[in-house]
Amino acid sequence: MLALDHLAVSAASLEEGAAWVEQALGIPPAGGGKHPHMGTHNRLLSLGDLYLEVIAIDPAAPKPGHPRWFDLDRFRGPPRLTNWICRSDDLDAALAMAPPGTGTATDLQRGDYRWRFAVPASGRLPFDDCHPALIQWQGDLHPARTLRDHGIRLTGLEITHPEADALHAALAGLSDPRVVVERGPYPGLRATFSTPNGLRVLT
């Protein structure tokens, strides 16, 4: 089984991405850190049972000898919601059921956080990045339980793709009423949040 774990906003720089999220949701992402294996860094924002990650290439880190996750090597343009991540208690079993290209299980760590992550060889996930990245947390430590709660909650995640039926079938292991897959001419993600200042949307 899969569970919705977090959302990722990609940006050309971490500062630009954090400012964009603050303008949209009213709260600045904080904390986070560096991912030496990927040459990236991030900031985080609590969504209650989930969290939002702002991620960008770390200009101070050496370029890794493999594609970065979330297709960041090819990222261009303004900050935007690019990926969603689901967790599993058995990443190997989840990968066996996932579409080809979802990734290879890789052990990673940032500070006290440890996890296994399915890293796609190309940096890009199936269904034009509309398929979720897969993660398995190691131990009990999880960002959603350590971040300050500002009362922001995800109320809906709409995933649009021309091959919506195939994508929906690939997500058979996920049961979350907030996640909706719809057919559309272009791949895309749209997340709706309730905030202390009303509903807000990220795309």
Is the domain covering 3-149 a CATH 3.40.640.10 domain?
A: no
pLDDT of residue 111: 87
- How far apart (Å, rounded) are the C-alpha atoms in residues 69 and 74? 10
**In the chain, what are the domain boundaries?**
3-149
Mean pLDDT of 176-192: 97
- How far apart (Å, rounded) are the C-alpha atoms in residues 42 and 70? 12
Do 107 and 116 touch, CB atoms closer than 8 A?
A: yes
CA dihedral sign of residues 52, 123, 73, 186? negative
Mean pLDDT of 186-192: 98
Query: pLDDT (tens digit, 9 = 90+) per residue, 118-168?
Result: 999 999 999 999 999 999 999 989 999 999 999 999 999 999 999 999 999
